[in-house]
Structure 1
C-alpha cells in the first residue's frame, strides 16, 4: 500500500492478483478488448522495464500522443512506476504546437499512433503504439518484475498542458504526492469499488478523464474506454456493460438524452452516480437525467488542472447537497473569494494538498497566477451560501459588461434552458457602439418546436433582469464543442461579431 500512496503509477497494483476487468477498450467498438488487472499491471511493468532498458531514468520525460486506448494507460502509468515523467499531448493540437511541446519539455521519446507521427518534429524518437514492428510498443515492452521508484516530496509524476493566455499552452507540473492524494480523496468521496463500471469518453490528455481513470484504478473498478465521445456508442456501452457511473459535461448529457430510440424501454436503475462538470446544468437537464437514471446520485463537480478536482465534495455531516452546488470544501483545502461585493462572492483563490508544483519554464505565468503566500487564482467565479456550500457562477474571462452591468453567461443560459422548448443554449457578447457589448444567444430547440426569436427574448425578460435578455437569437442544430467536450465559446463569439458586422453593413447601405 505504501507504493499506492507514494507513487501515482502504482495505483491499481493492489489488485494485480485479482482476475476482474480493469479496462474494456472500445477504440474499435466492433472488436472490444477486455483486460483484467493482472494483465494491465504486467503491461505497465513491461513499459517501465522497456524505458529502463533504453537508458531512461527518473526525471526524464516522454510524450503520450495518442487517442483514448489501452496503450495510453499502459505508457502513462508504466512510466511513472520508474519515475519517468509522461507528458500528455493533445491529439488535435496543430503540428507547430506539438513541436513546441516536444522542445519545451525536452522529451526523450514520444509514444504515438502511426497516423500522428507525421506531426512530430523531424528526428523525434517515436514508439508506435498501434504497430507490431521493431518501432512498435509490443517490441518495446520487456515483461518481468521491476523495482518501483520512490518519489520525494515534490517529485513530478506527470505534466499536463492547459490552455494559455498567450496562445501557448502551459505545462502544469503535477506531483506523485499531490495526485496520489487526489486519487484517494475523489475515489473515497464517490465510493468507487470493484463492483463499479465507469464509462470514460473524454480525452485522456484532459484532467476530467484522467481523474476518472485514477478513481477507477484506486477503487479496483472497471473502465469502459471510448476513443472519443459518440452519443450512440456511449448509450450502447451503458446498456451492454451496465455502467454504474456515468460522467461528462452537461452538453454530453444533453446529447445522450437525444438518443431516445436507444434509451427507450431500458431500465437504468443500475446507474448509481452521474457526475457533471465544466459548466452549470439547468434544472430541466438535471430533472431529465434523474428521470433516466432513477437511482443515481447526480453531482455537479468542479476542478481545474492546476488545483485538481479534489476541492469540493460531501458535507462532513452528510447533509444533503443543494441542487446546483458543486459541493462542500474537502478537508485540507483553503478557499477565499476575491473581488466580489462581499466574502461570499468572487474569483476563487485556492491553497491545498492537490496543487500543482508549478508551470514548466513559465515564471511569468507563475507570478500572474500565484501570490507570495501560495494562493492560486483559478479565474473562476463562485458564490458561497450561508451553510458553506459553493456554487459555480462562471469564468471571469467569460464575463462581459453591458451598460455597466456584469453579465455572467452561465446565469443567462440557465434561464434560457428552463424553457421547455430549449434543449441547450450558449450566450456570448457581441459589440455594441453604445452599450459596449450586448448578449447574443445561440439556441438548440427541441424537435418540433415552433418558438421564435421574440419568444426567446420574452422568456428571458420575464425571468431575468432586462439587461440580460439576448438582443439576437440564432437557432442552430447543435452547439459547437471543443476537443474536451465543452461549448466552444470563442467560435461563437467570432460568429456573433460576424453577424453584428453584417447587420451594421446592411444599415449603412440602406
Structure 2
C-alpha cells in the first residue's frame, strides 16, 4: 500500500489521522475526564454506581496508599487479578497514578500460570480477589511479590449490602477457599489509609510502559507485551475518532460483559470510554445469563461490546430477546471471527447491526474496524486512523489487492516489544515498526480487509488465544504420555474447541478421564481440552516435528464427511 492509500477510505467526517502525542500520559486523560464528567457515572456493578469524581478520589486513595505504605517505586510491576468489579478500575488507575506498571492477570489462572506470569514480570505486588487468595498463597514463595492486597466482591458496595454480598459469596456459595496470608492488607484498609497522606502524581513519558499485557506465542511461553502510555493513548483516540458520529460524550451507557483484564475490554472500557466520559455497566459473570440479563434490564443501554460466542448465547435466550433495545445504537465485535448468521440474528433480535473489528494484544489492541456507517459483514473493516496495513509473502514482499499474505501492521498503537525478550520481539517487529501478525489476510481495493487463515498454530477459544505448545508441555508431564499434540477444531459456540492427541508409552494404561483431570488441574477453563484421542503414532516431519496441520486437516475432513 502507498502511504496515502488509506486516507480516502474513511467515511465523511472521520479523520484519517490522530495525534498520539496529544496527551503526555494516561493519567492526564483520567484527570481531565474526571473533572469534565465529575457527576457522570463511570462504572456500575452489582447495583452500585461510581461517578468519575468518585473514581478519581478512590484511585487517588489507592495510589497514596501504594506510595506511602509500601516500598514500591515508579516502574515497579503490580499484578492486578480481578474480575469485572468496581475495584478493578480503582486499582488500575491508582497503580498508574502511583507510577507502577500494571500486569493484568486472569483471575481464573491456575497456580502454575500465576507463578509463571508473576515471575516473568518481576511483579512486586499483587491485588487479588479473596476467591483466589489460596492460589496466591501457594505461588508467592516462588515469586518476588512482597505486597498483597486482597479484596472481596462487595467491598465497594454500601456497608450493609457489602456485608450481605460478601457473606453470601463466602458462606452460602462457599467459593472462597481458606487461605493464610498474614502479610496481606485488605483493599478497604488500603483505601482508608490512603485518605491520609499526600499523593505525588506520577508523570510518566509517552514511551514509558503503562501495562504488561501477557499473550502467548508460537513457543507457547506467555510473554508480556509492553504497552506504553502512547500506545494506549493512540488506541483510545483512534476509537474516539471512529465513534464520534454515533456516540455522544458523557451520555452513553455501554455494557461490559467481557473481562477487563483482557486487552479488548481493557482498552475499550477503561481507556476509550473513560476519554469519552461514558458509563460502563460491568458484568461480573457473563456466563450467568439470568443475572446478566437482569442487570441489562435496569439500563437503557446504548452500546454493547461482545464477541460471537456471547451473541449466540444471548440471542438464544428468551428473556434477553424480550429486553428493550430501543436505545441500542452501537454493537462491537472482536476477539474472534463474527459469523454471518450470528451477525444477522443479533440485528434481527436487537435492531442494531454489529461492527466487527480486529486486533491483537501487541496492538493495544485495535487495528481495524468496520465503520458504523459502512459495515461489511465478513471483513474486519478498515485500519483505524494513523494505521497502515499490508500483506506480505514468505519473503516479506508486499502482495497486490486480492492476494493473500501475512497481515502486517504499523501504527502508534503497536507495542514497544516483549518484556525482557529481545529475540522474540525481533521475530515479529522490524526496525521500521512493522508488526507481523501471523494472520493471513486479503486487502480489497476499497481498503476492507478479510482474515482468511492463521499462520500460527494458535487456537482461538471464545476470543482467547490458546497456544498448543503450552498445552502439550502440560500434557507431557502426565506419567504415561509418550507423545502428544493439541489442535483447535471448529465449534459452533466457542469458535474452536481444543482436542488433544496422545500416544501412550508402552505398557501405560491412560484413560480419557486421567488426561482431562490432569489438564483441568493445571490449566484455566478456556485452555482445557474437550476431546481426547489416543493413537499409536502422530504425523511428523523428517526431523520429528509433529505436524499439527495434518491433524487439523484430518479433523476437518471428518466434519465434512
TM-score normalised by the chain length of structure 1: 0.74
> Which of 76, 81, 95 is the matching residue for 2:111?
95
Q: SS at 2:254's partner residue?
A: strand
Q: 1:136: which partner in 2?
A: 186
Partners of 1:211 and 1:125 lie apart in 2 by 26
- Distance in 1 (CA, whole Å) between partners of 2:94 and 2:21 is 13
**CA separation of 1:130/1:165 partners in 2, compared to 1, >3 Å: closer, same or farther?**
same
Per the alignment, residue 201 of structure 1 pairs with 257
Residue 307 of structure 2, aligned match among 249, 252, 269? 249
Between 1 and 2, higher relative CO (CA 8 Å, sep ≥ 6) is seen in 2
Task: After superposition, give the CA deviation of every residue in 1:438-488 in whole Å (9 maximum; x if it has no partner).
Answer: 9975557xxxxxxxxxxxxxxxxxxxxxxxxxxxxxxxxxxxxx9xxx996
Indicate the SS of the match to 2:23.
helix
Q: Residue 289 of structure 1 aligns with which residue?
A: 346
Is structure 2 residue 220 aligned with structure 1 residue 182?
Answer: no
CA distance in 2, matches of 1:49, 1:249: 37
- Distance in 1 between the 2:272 and 2:55 partners? 16
Q: In 2, distance between residues paired with 1:355 and 1:297? A: 29
Match of 1:22 among 17, 22, 42: 42
Inter-CA distance 36–153: structure 2 relative to 1 (3 Å threshold): closer
Q: Check the 8 A contact 2:343/2:353 in 1, yes or no.
A: no
Find the residue that maps to 2:80 and give its secondary structure: strand
Corresponding residue number in structure 1 for 2:159: none
Aligned Cα root-mean-square deviation (Å):
3.5
Kept after mapping to 1: 8 A contact 2:442/2:452:
yes
In structure 1, which of residues 357, 370, 378 is the aligned counterpart of residue 416 of structure 2?
357
Map of 1:332 onto structure 2: 386
Runs of 4+ in 1 over 6 A off after TM superposition: 131-134
Correspondence 1:434-453 to 2 at 5 A: 442=491
Q: Is the 8 A contact 1:347 1:378 kept in 2?
A: yes
The aligned runs of 1:460-475 (5 Å cut-off) are none
- Are the counterparts in 1 of residues 78 and 101 from structure 2 also a CA contact under 8 Å? yes
SS of equivalent residue, structure 2 residue 359: coil
Give the superposition deviation at 1:186.
0.9
Aligned residues: 418
Where does residue 415 of structure 1 map in the other structure?
A: none
How far apart are residue 188 of structure 1 and its match? 2.9
- Per the TM alignment, residue 497 of structure 1 is displaced from its structure 2 partner at its CA by 7.0
Residue in 1 that maps onto 2:216 = 163
- Provide the rounded CA distance (Å) in 2 between the counterparts of 1:44 and 1:397: 40
Deviation at 1:380, TM superposition (A): 1.4
CA distance, structure 2, for counterparts of residue 74 and residue 4 of structure 1: 24
Contact 1:67 1:227 in 2 (8 A): yes
1:114 — aligned with what?
Answer: 130
Q: Distance in 1 between matches of 2:488 and 2:121?
A: 41
Structure 1 unaligned blocks of 5 or more: 27-31, 401-407, 411-437, 445-481, 504-510
Match of 2:294 in 1: 236
**Does the CA contact (< 8 Å) of 1:201 and 1:228 recur in 2?**
yes
**Closer, same or farther: CA 379–59 of 1 in aligned 2, 3 Å:** same
Q: Secondary structure at the match of 2:272?
A: helix
Is the 8 Å Cα contact of residues 42 and 143 (structure 1) preserved in structure 2?
Answer: no
SS, match of residue 78 in structure 1:
helix
C-alpha offsets along residues 206-237 of structure 1, whole Å, 9 cap, x if unaligned?
11110221122111111111112223333333
Q: Does 1:35 align with 2:50?
A: yes
Equivalent in 251, 258, 275 of residue 332 of structure 2: 275
CA contact (8 A) 1:97 1:168 kept: no
In the alignment, which residue of structure 1 is the partner of 2:466? none
Alignment of 1:310-459 (within 5 A): 310-313=366-369, 320-339=374-393, 342-344=399-401, 345-398=404-457, 442=491
Aligned to 2:529: 491
Q: Secondary structure at the match of 2:298?
A: helix
Q: Give the one of 277, 285, 289 matched to 1:220.
A: 277
What's the CA shift string for 1:164-216, capped at 9, x where partnerless? 33332111111011111111211331234211111112222111110221122
Shift of 1:370: 2.0
Please state how far the C-alpha of 1:496 moved relative to its aligned partner: 6.5
Query: Deviation string for 1:295-329 (max 9, x for gaps)?
Result: x34200110010123322466xx972322221212
Q: Which of 60, 64, 74 is matched with 1:45 structurally?
A: 60
Q: 1:167 to 1:324 in 2, by over 3 A?
A: closer
Change beyond 3 A, Cα 1:353–1:399: closer
Question: CA offsets, 1:311-348, max 9 Å, x none?
Answer: 22466xx9723222212122322222122894342211
**Corresponding residue SS for 1:92:** coil
Is the CA contact 1:60–1:85 (under 8 Å) kept in the aligned structure 2? Answer: yes
Match of residue 475 from structure 1: none
CA contact (8 A) 1:4 1:10 kept: no
C-alpha spacing 1:443/1:223, structure 2 compared with 1 (3 Å): closer
Which residues of structure 2 form unaligned runs of 5+?
1-19, 156-181, 463-486, 494-519, 539-553, 555-561
CA offsets, 1:264-291, max 9 Å, x none? 3x43121111111122223221111111
Q: Is the 8 A contact 1:4 1:14 kept in 2?
A: no
3-state secondary structure, aligned to 1:312: strand
